[in-house]
Structure 1
Amino acid sequence: MSAGHGSGGHGRKSRTAHEEEHENHERWAVSYADMMTVLVGLFIVLYAVSQVDQVKFEQLRQSLAVGFGHAAPVALEGSNGALTGVEAFQITPDLRSEAGIEAEQIQGPSKELTEDEQRAAAASVEYQRLDAVAQQIAAALAPEGLADRVRFRITERGLVVGMVADDVFFSAASAELTATAQRIIDTTAPVLAGLPDELSVEGHTNAIPVSGRYPTNWELSSDRATQVLRRLVEVGGIAPHRIAAVGFGEARPIDDPGVDPIEANRRVDLVVLSSVPEDVRALLPSLAAANQG
């Protein structure tokens, strides 16, 4: 009896152990799904990396081409994706034009100029500009038959337009503009109005003491300059903030042995004041002497 009971109990334990060892035949599907997820992620990463590298490569190629002075192409025949066809597409703009680099700037550094050479070059440019202004004024006066009524000088201050022609501009001891003086001023004003420079109207007299309404030659010269200034502003359209008048009396006579100092110093100078640095302006008289010679 006892043996049969024991044998029956052992049989139940064997069946329980067999049921716990049951094998799951669908486990491969989980591993397959994991592998496919990893592969999809890998392809996405490779696609993204290939696009970034392609753009970076083209940008690098453009930069190197510009650095060595060669024109960089702006279009490339090729694929713009891993699974798409061949088509033309824009890569990057020309880096030279984007940076404002001119062709001569990438050919290598130019010869450096010394400070003296730079000043000389700047003075030459300024002299040519002032000389061109003088030629414009002379060309405007020529049809009126007035070209010989003014004298041009380029000094360290700028262009001096000297209204010197005996008693053509002013009568003795008078600041009243003659008809000829008004025509000259009105013809010259449009050229002066188009300049960026400031203007100085400077009155002068000869050494003969004045009598009548002016106590001294200072007042007479100042009034002459003021009358010219008013004509330039009120009739010629010169901006008031660009122009000033000053009287020198007899203190600055014309130093020219070929003219009569009594008549010639009854004058007004229109000075186009150069705005270049003083050390550059100091070279203008020598350039003027060389060109006149």
Structure 2
Amino acid sequence: MHWRAKGVLQKVLGHVPGGEEAHYVLQRRFGGLRGFTREFDIKMDDWRLMAGHLHKAGVPIAGARLFEIGSGWYPTFPFACYLGGARQVITVDLNRHIKPDLVRECAGNLGRHTALIAEACGIPEDEVRQRQQQLVERLQRNDDVAAATDGVVVYDAPADASRTSIPAHELDCVFSNSVLEHVNPEAVDEIFREAMRILAPGGIMFHSVNCGDHYAYVDSKINQLNYLRYSDREWRRWDNAFLYQNRMRAYEFVDRATAVGFDIVLNTECAREKRLAELAAMPVHPQFAHIPPERLCVTSIDFIGRKRPAEVSP
């Protein structure tokens, strides 16, 4: 599918009654949700990487109090954390996207990953498997997410991650996966400030950001740097309610976290030869001319910011 055609279709759906449901149906039949198992397994691999990063940063999932930004249609990360022994997982979304059929499918698919979860969290697989089976049974009898997880997973939507009612210094970790690239830059700053407030001293903020052009996933004729050809004004033609892309570069997220006061303890920013070659072969809009190629070309990053142990926010 041509990327411009998808952009126009999504823009139209974002402005008509019933557009959100129509978009979901299209995703189920023709988009990323058509092959749910493959999509789910990719998310679980992302979760595995996050669990490893958190463990190395001194915040293992077992026993942790976690806050996810961007729940999406089904709660893969919160459910995996629950199975791994998390004490609390609050997950929020600006809009209520969660779908009961996908929630049940997510819980069922976790049965194929109990060994992975057990190893990542350092707990017996039997314990993980028992929780997973209980989760499936409770969801099948139409329990909501909180009831199905004994109150461990709390789903809150609509909710604003930059303005929560969570008490200060309450959590061990705030995290997101492929979310911040869809957030207005000013709101990114607000989310980081709120994370600083709600994290306990020594707590961490982990974000995995896919900051490449997402239209490249549906149009093989373009690459993940394609959107750098356009000015902000031009790009607004293709931005829409279902696929807003802020086009922030990887280093900008880290710089903004540092500006709020986080100490960066993980930064996977890396200029890859393939991306550098793609960048050299295409025109780039002058508004990006001040960014060195080795930073402009980066299309993904994982980073961790730690709240200083002695710091107490007002």
Would the TM-score normalized by the shorter structure come out above 0.5? no
Q: Of Structure 1 and Structure 2, which has the larger fraction of its residues in helix?
A: 1
TM-score, normalised relative to structure 1:
0.26
Please say which structure displays the higher CA radius of gyration: 1
TM-score, normalised relative to structure 2:
0.24
